[in-house]
Chains A and B, each alone.
Chain A
Amino acid sequence: MLFTLIFKVMKIIMHSRSVSDKFYLFKRLLIMKLTLFFILIFNIGAFANVFSQTTVSLNFKEADLEKVLLTIETNSSYRFVYSNNKILTGKKITIKADNENVTDVLNKILSNSGLFYIERENHLVAIAPVGTLAGTAADAQQGFKVTGLITDEGTGETLIGATVKVKGTTNAVAVDVSGKFTIDAPSANSILVVNFIGYTELEVPIGGKAVLDIKMSKVTRNLDEVVVTGFGLTTKKSTLAGAVSQLSGEDLSQSRATSASGAMVGKIAGVNFRQTNGQPGANPTIRIRNFGGQFDNPLIIIDGTRRDMDAFNALDFNDVESLNVLKDGSAAIYGFSGENGVIVVVTKKGKRGQKPTFSFDTYYGTQTYANFNKPGDIKSYVRGIVQTETYGDGRQSVASRTITPEIYQKVMNGAPGYEGFDWYKYIYKSAPQYQAKFSVSGGTENTDYYISATTLNQGVALRDFGDGFKRQNIQANFNANISKRIKFGMQMNGYWSKQSNTNVEGNDFDWQAEAPYRNLPILPGSGVAYTNPVSGPYINGNPLYPQGTSPSGQGYSYGLVSPELSGTASTTRRNVSITGTLEIDILPGLKGRMLANYSFLSNQEDSRRLSPTLYQLNTLGTIIQDGSYVPARNNEHIFRNTDNSSLQFQLEYKKSIGQHNFQLNVNQESTLSYSPFVRVTGIPPANNIPYIPNIGKDNLTSFEDNISNYTPAQGYQVRLNYDFAGKYILEAFGRYDGSSYYLPEKRWGFFPGGAIAYRISQEDFWKSSPILSTFNDFKIKASYGVLGNAFGSATDNYLTGYEYNQGSAVLNGTVITGSQILPPPSLALTWGRTYSSDVGIDMTLLNSRLNIAVDYFNRTRSGRGGRSVVTLPDLTGFNAGDENVNSDKDRGVDGSISWRDRVGEVSYGINANFSYSRSITGFRYNQVFGSDYGLFRGTQIIGTPGGTNGVDRLNGGPFQYVVIGQFQNWEQIQNYGVDQDGKGNTTQKPGDFIFKDTNGDGFITPNDQTRETYTINGANGSVPPLSFGFGFNVNYKGFDLRTDFTGGSLFTFEQTSSGFSSATGAYMREWLPNRNTSQYLFDNSSYYSDIFDRNSPIVVGKYPLLLQTNPAPNTNFNHGGWQTNITYVRVRNLQIGYTIPYSILKSLSVTNLRVYVAAQNLYTFSNMPNKIDPELANGAGGGLPSPRVLTAGVQVKF
Chain B
Amino acid sequence: MKTKFLYSLFALFLINMVFIGCKRDLTVVPNSVITEESVYTDKALITSALARFYNQVNESSAPPQNNFNVGSAAWGASNATDDSFQQDPDDAQNNRGGASAQQVMFTKDRYRAFDYGLIRRLNIFLKGIRTEESKKSMTAFENAAFEGQAMFLRAWTFFHMVKTLGGLTIVNDEVFAFAGGTDATPLLLKRNSEEECYDYIIAQCDFAAAKLTNGGIATIPAGQNANAALANRWAAKMLKARAALTAASIAKWNTPGDPNLEKTDKLGIRTHGIPASKADAYYKLAFDAAKEVIDGGAYQLMTGATLTTAQQAFSNAINIKAGNTEVIWTADRQTPARNTQWTRFVGPVTHTESPEGNQLGAPAEFVESFEDRVTGAQGIKTRTISTPNLINEGGVGNAPIMYDLANPADNPFMQKDARLWGSVIWPQAVWKGSPVDLRAGEWRGEYNADGTLKVYTSAPQAKGTPGTFLTSINGPAENTSQTVNKTGFIPRKWLDEKPGASLSPNWSDMWVIRFRLAEAYAICAEAALLSTPVGGPGVGVTYINVLRRRGLLPDLSAGQFTFEQLRRELRIEFYMEDHRLWDMNRWRLADQYWDGPTSSKAVEYPNGTSYPYQLYGYTVNLGPGNPDNGKYVFERKRAFRKRANPAYFERSSYYSSMTNGWLSNNPNWDRNPGQ
State whether these chains interact: yes
Partner-B contacts on A (CB < 8 A): 402, 485, 524-529, 548, 551-554, 584, 586-587, 590, 592, 594, 614, 616-619, 626-630, 632, 634, 649-651, 666-668, 670, 681, 701-702, 707-714, 716, 738-740, 744, 747-748, 794-795, 799-824, 827-828, 869-878, 880, 980-983, 987, 1060, 1073-1074, 1109-1117
For B37, the closest partner residue in chain A by CB is A801
Whether A808 pairs with B26 at a CB distance below 8 angstroms is no
Check if B433 is an interface residue, CB within 8 A of chain A: no
Q: A740-B26, A818-B55 are in contact. Are A810 and B229 (CB under 8 A)?
A: yes
Please determine whether A739 and B26 come into contact, CB atoms closer than 8 angstroms: yes
A629 in contact with B45 given A618-B466, A808-B338, A870-B181 (CB within 8 Å): no
Measured between alpha carbons, how far is A873 from B39 in the docked complex, in Å? Answer: 28
Q: Residue among A630, A710, A711 with the most chain B CB within 10 A?
A: A630
Choose among B21, B25, B31, B56 the residue that contacts A709 (Cβ–Cβ < 8 A). B31
CB-contact partner of A804 in B11, B48, B117, under 8 A: B48
Give B217-256 as 1s and 0s: 1 = Cβ < 8 Å from A's Cβ atoms.
0000000111101100000000000000000000000000
A712 and B24 within 8 A (CB):
yes
CB-based contact B27/A740 at 8 Å: yes
* Known contacts A529-B459, A709-B31, A809-B55: A714-B24 contact under CB 8 Å: yes
Known: A526-B466, A877-B121, A1111-B96. A807 touches B52 (CB 8 A): yes
B164-181 near A? 1/0 per residue, CB < 8 Å: 000011010000111011
Which of chain B's residues have a CB closer than 8 A to the CB of A1110? 92, 480
Please state if B48 and A816 are interface contacts (CB–CB under 8 Å). Answer: yes
Which among B169, B462, B506 has the highest number of chain A CB atoms within 10 Å? B462
Across the interface, which residues of B come within 8 angstroms of A554, CB to CB? Answer: 355, 462-464
Listed by A's residue number, 9 A-B pairs whose Cβ atoms lie within 8 Å are A527-B468, A592-B11, A614-B464, A747-B26, A807-B51, A808-B338, A811-B50, A876-B116, A1111-B95
Chain B's closest residue to A741 (CB) is B26
> Quick check: B467 and A714 within 8 Å, CB to CB?
no
* B662 interfacial contact with A, CB 8 Å: yes
The 8 lowest CB-CB distance pairs between A and B, nearest first, are: A628-B464, A877-B120, A818-B52, A813-B226, A873-B666, A526-B467, A981-B97, A807-B55
What is the bound-complex CA distance between A815 and B24, given in angstroms? 40
Q: Are B464 and A802 in contact (CB under 8 A)?
A: no
B139 proximal to A (CB < 8 A): no
Cβ A872 vs Cβ B505 within 8 A: no
Nearest residue in B to A828 (C-beta to C-beta)?
A: B180
- Chain B residue contacts of A801, Cβ below 8 A: 33-36, 39
Determine if B124 is an interface residue (Cβ-Cβ < 8 Å). Answer: yes
CA distance A587 to B12 in the complex (A): 12
Asked whether A808 lies within 8 Å of B184 as measured between CB atoms, the reply is: no
Choose one: A630, A738, A823, A877; the contact of B176 (CB below 8 Å): A877
Output the least CB separation between B283 and chain A (Å).
31
1/0 per position for B472-507, CB-CB distance to A under 8 A? 000000001100000000000000000000011110
* Interchain CA distance A982-B52 in the complex, whole Å: 47
Partner of B665, one of A666, A739, A871: A871
Asked whether B121 lies within 8 Å of A794 as measured between CB atoms, the reply is no
Residues in B with CB closer than 8 Å to A873 are 184, 187-189, 662, 665-666, 668-669
On chain B, the residues within 8 Å of A807 by CB distance are 51-52, 55-56, 59
Q: Is the CB of A651 within 8 A of B15?
A: yes
Whether A629 lies near B464 (C-beta < 8 A) is yes
Q: Are B18 and A650 in contact (CB under 8 A)?
A: yes
The smallest beta-carbon distance between A597 and chain B, in angstroms, is 16
Query: B449 contacts which chain A residues (CB < 8 A)?
Result: none
Looking at the assembled complex, report how far the CB atom of B32 sits from the nearest CB atom of chain A, in whole angstroms.
4
**When A628-B463, A872-B184 are in contact, do A586 and B10 touch as well, CB less than 8 Å?**
yes
If the complex has contacts A402-B459, A702-B336, A873-B187, are A794 and B229 also in contact, measured as CB distance less than 8 A?
Answer: no
- Contact assessment for B28 and A1116 in the assembled complex, using a CB-CB cutoff below 8 Å: no
Contacting A701 at CB < 8 Å: which of B97, B229, B506?
B506
B residues neighboring A (CB under 8 Å): 7-8, 10-11, 14-15, 17-19, 21, 23-36, 39, 45, 47-56, 58-59, 89-90, 92, 94-99, 114, 116-121, 124-125, 168-169, 171, 176-178, 180-184, 187-189, 224-227, 229-230, 332-334, 336-338, 353-355, 458-459, 461-469, 480-481, 503-506, 661-662, 664-666, 668-669
Pair A628/B462 contact, Cβ less than 8 Å: yes
A1113 x B666 contact (CB < 8 A):
no
Q: Is the CB of B18 within 8 A of A794?
A: no
Distance of A921 Cα from B114 Cα, bound (Å): 32
Give the docked Cα–Cα distance between A987 and B100 (Å): 14
Contact B52 A820 (CB under 8 A): yes
Is B97 within 8 A of A1114, CB to CB?
yes
Residues in chain B near residue A528, CB distance under 8 A: 458
Chain A: CB-nearest residue to B337: A815
Contact A809:B58 (CB < 8 A) given known A586-B11, A802-B33, A1060-B90: yes
In the bound complex, CA of A1073 to CA of B484 (Å): 14
Asked whether B97 lies within 8 Å of A983 as measured between CB atoms, the reply is yes
Can you name the residue of chain B whose Cβ is closest to the Cβ of A554? B464
For the complex formed, measure the closest distance between the CB of B220 and the CB atoms of chain A, giving whole angstroms. 9
Q: Point out the residue from B11, B15, B48, B466 that lies within 8 Å of A626, measured CB to CB.
A: B466
B548 shortest CB reach to chain A, Å: 33
Contact A809-B229, Cβ < 8 Å, known A1109-B95, A1116-B98: yes
> In the complex, A801 Cα to B227 Cα: how many Å?
31
Structural contact, B36 and A738, CB atoms closer than 8 A? no
- Beta-carbon nearest neighbor of A394 in chain B: B95
Query: Are B36 and A800 in contact, with the CB atoms below 8 A?
Result: yes
Chain B's nearest CB lies how many Å from the CB of A208? 58
- How far does the Cβ of B1 sit from chain A's closest Cβ, in whole Å? 15
Determine the chain B residues whose CB is within 8 A of the CB of A551 once the complex forms: 462, 465
Across the interface, do A877 and B116 meet the contact criterion of CB distance under 8 Å?
Answer: yes
**Given A714-B26, A794-B28, A878-B338 contact (CB < 8 Å):** no
Chain A proximity of B670: nearest CB distance (Å) = 13
A807 CB → nearest B CB, Å: 4
What chain B residues lie within 8 Å of A819 (beta carbons)? 34, 39, 45, 48-49, 51-52
Chain B residue contacts of A1109, Cβ below 8 A: 92, 95, 480
Q: How far is the CB of A333 from chain B (nearest CB, A)?
A: 14
Cβ of A840 to closest chain B Cβ, rounded Å: 32
Closest B residue to A868 by beta carbon equals: B182
Cα(A255)–Cα(B215), bound, Å:
82
Q: How far is the CB of A166 from chain B (nearest CB, A)?
A: 46
B337 & A980 in contact (Cβ 8 Å cutoff): no
Task: Tell me whether A738 and B26 are in contact (CB under 8 A).
Answer: yes
User: In the bound complex, what is the Cα–Cα distance between A808 and B59 (angstroms)?
Assistant: 10
Distance in Å: Cβ of A825 to nearest Cβ of chain B: 12
Q: Which residues of A contact B97 (CB under 8 A)?
A: 980-983, 987, 1114, 1117
> CA A702 – CA B226 in complex, angstroms?
23
CB nearest to B661 among chain A residues: A874
Structural contact, A810 and B95, CB atoms closer than 8 A: no
Distance A241 CA – B24 CA, assembled complex (angstroms): 33
Q: Which residues of A contact B18 (CB under 8 A)?
A: 649-651, 666-668, 716
User: Are A795 and B33 interface neighbours, CB within 8 A?
Assistant: yes
- Bound state CA distance, A481 and B224, in angstroms? 75
> How far, in whole Å, are A260 and B665 apart by their CA atoms in the complex?
51
Give chain A residues whose Cβ lies under 8 Å from the Cβ of B94: 987
Residue of B99, B182, B224, B332 ringed by the most chain A CB atoms within 10 A = B332
Given A628-B464, A701-B505, A795-B33, are A810 and B92 neighbors across the interface (CB < 8 Å)?
Answer: no
CB–CB A630/B503 < 8 A: yes
Contacts of B187 in A (CB 8 A): 872-873, 875-876
Q: How far is the CB of A477 from chain B (nearest CB, A)?
A: 24
Give Cα A1114–Cα B93 distance, bound, in whole angstroms: 10
Chain B residues near A981 (CB, 8 Å)?
97
Asked if B34 and A802 sit within 8 Å, CB to CB, the answer is: yes
Q: How far is the CA of A873 from the CA of B50 in the complex (A)?
A: 26
Distance from A41 Cβ to chain B, minimum over Cβ atoms (Å): 32
Which of A524, A668, A870, A876 lies at the interface centre, i.e. has the most chain B CB atoms within 10 A of its CB?
Answer: A876
A847 to B334, CA, bound (A): 79
Which residues of chain A have C-beta atoms less than 8 A from B28's C-beta?
A: 709-712, 740, 794
